Amino acid sequence: MNQRVVVDPITRIEGHLRIEAKTDNDTITEAWSSGTMVRGIEIILRGRDPRDAWAFTQRFCGVCTLVHAIASIRAVENALHYTIPPNAQLIRNLMIGAQYVHDHVMHFYHLHALDWVDVVSALKADPKGTSALAQAVSPSNPRTSPGYFADIQKRVKTFVETGQLGIFANGYWGHPAYKLPPEANLMAVAHYLEALEWQRNVVQIHTILGGKNPHPNFLVGGAPAAISIDPSGAAQSDSALGGASATALNQRGLQEIQNVINNMKTFVDQIYVPDTLAIAGFYKEWAHQGEGTGNFLTYGDFPSGDTDDVSNLLVPRGAILNRNLNEVLPVDFDDPEQIQEYVSHSWYHYQGGKDQGLHPYVGETELHYDGPQPPYDYLNVDQSYSWLKAPRWRGKPMEVGPLARVLMLYAKGHEPTRELAQMALSKLDLPIEAMFSTLGRTAARTLETKLFADALQGWQDQLIANIKAGDLRTFNDTLWEPSTWPREARGAGYMEAPRGALAHWIVIKDGKIDNYQAVVPSTWNAGPRDAMNQPGPYEAALVGHKLVDPKQPVEILRTIHSFDPCIACAVHVTDPDGEELVRVKIL
């Protein structure tokens, strides 16, 4: 029987996303991804001072705040040819790496794990059996006693008996697609709660080095605490980011950062990695679901030197087509033939026509809504159906994110990545081809978290070594003045956000922003069809899914959540009167 399944909104994500899927005998044959609220930051930035762009772009999202600030700052630095001091790069790496570990752990436990873990089933678990399972999965984890899991079970029971599941409300509990035994469900619920406690502490790196979280403010004017190795707290003459501050980050502050790094590594090693492998073992058929486009793109990040020298990047830059890990193709941000955005099926308009692709330097953000007025049953997928554009690399839809990065590192021969990938595949008895899937995408996020948690220590050690060696190079303050700028300049700021390849493009004329375009990870992944009617990664990945119960399509959630959507970065509300723009109905 043919039918259209609508999930609106997709929950446990940032932003507003609608998925429609056409099924034949409960198997998805086509799917459409729609961002349902309009984006407008690029419009707001026109005519503004480029030195202020980073503060505006951070407001793309309340989760991805640091990454947009980094991309924006790098775009201006690229346009004006700034040289970045070594310590500034290290602090940025520490901040970005900390965001990865924090973001990925929170996504797994609080956004994605509930697609695989039946919370209510945990009430049936034997705490002794859960204890034995936890000790087998992670012998080094100290929280594995039967009493500990019995206490967790009582907390869940209290939720259920009140008739209100609180943080566990609105799940498809009891769905036949859930496969974990009760003891595994109880273990996962315990670690869900532990992750809530853990994340309160690990965010301290952002508050120490960035001033606050969200929206850290360390990128313009200097770090909030000048770096110092003097136990008394006396600051060195200037901070690593150019500009002294009122307080020094002395040895106590550096020790606090070290404690957070240790805490991150312990949780990842003892809980996150073992949990991922344990849960994946019950869902190995998902190594053949959610394969997507088979094309992968990385911009690269974590420079050890000059940002513009791709050989300095820990995560390489490149493109992989058709799952061919034997060939990595070069990526050029300035090449108008490489990166283009299409609006053929988007609620935007291009002056030259909707079917052309525009490079971000000449990109246009002109709103043109011609869709149905709510309430409506279905999208008009033959015309425009999303507030997201459709980015393409050399005309091809590309997946970005953890899977793209792990595959790129693997293809480039990065030994730690290869060892981790082979360890995971060996434990699950799966071939490398299993990575091209919903399960592989989820596992890749876990594996790269381990990589970056370990890398944090190296950046911390190098920063302290530089300070001890007296390397206190700062920015050239004269470049801050617009009088030193060329009349026209343009630049691209790139980075690897936790959710994938992120870049901002800026055109500066007479000291003001003439054009600004951001192509964010969820635009790459969640974008609609293009002028050639090619589906985006979300849309392609859903094809072939068998829905056990179309009224409770947990299979759709599993694959969409494996990308970790952040639609707030890709679309934005711009109603000046604060009026309700759309009312959604959960079907």
| pLDDT tens figures, 532-569 | 999 999 999 999 999 999 999 999 999 999 999 998 77
Question: Which of the four pLDDT bands, split at 50, 70 and 90, describes residue 213?
Answer: confident
| pLDDT tens figures, 363-391 | 998 889 988 887 789 999 999 999 999 99
Give 480-519 as a DSSP string. GSGGGS-SEEEEEEEEEETTEEEEEEEEEETTEEEEEEEE
Retrieve residue 162's tokens.
């009140």
Positions marked active-site: 14, 61, 64, 68, 499, 522, 566, 569
**Overall average pLDDT of the 462-487 stretch:** 86
Full-model pTM: 0.92
**Overall average pLDDT of the 220-249 stretch:** 50
Retrieve residue 263's tokens.
């805490």
Q: Is the pLDDT of residue 430 over 50?
A: yes
Q: Which domains does the chain have, with CATH numbers?
A: 35-81+291-436+476-545+564-587 (1.10.645.10)
Give 130-145 as a DSSP string. HHHHHHHH-TT-S---
Which residues neighbour 469 within 8 Å (Cβ) at sequence distance 6 or greater?
none
Question: Which of the four pLDDT bands, split at 50, 70 and 90, describes residue 509?
Answer: very high
**Overall average pLDDT of the 510-527 stretch:** 97
Q: What's the CA gap between 340 and 357, in Å, rounded?
A: 5
Percent of the chain with pLDDT strictly greater than 70: 91
| pLDDT tens figures, 432-465 | 999 999 999 999 999 999 999 999 999 999 998 9
Going by C-alpha positions, the residue among 109, 119, 129 that lies closest to residue 191 is 109
pLDDT of residue 39: 65
Going by C-alpha positions, the residue among 259, 301, 105 that lies closest to residue 191 is 105
Question: In Å, what is the CA distance from 482 to each residue of 69, 73, 421, 430?
Answer: 20, 15, 48, 57
Retrieve residue 34's tokens.
């729609």
| pLDDT tens figures, 264-309 | 999 999 999 999 999 999 999 999 999 999 999 999 999 997 767 8
Q: Is the pLDDT of residue 122 over 70?
A: yes
pLDDT of residue 40: 76
Tally DSSP H helices, then E strands, for the chain.
Answer: 17, 14
Amino acid occupying residue 152: I
Which residues neighbour 30 within 8 Å (Cβ) at sequence distance 6 or greater?
21, 22, 535, 539, 543
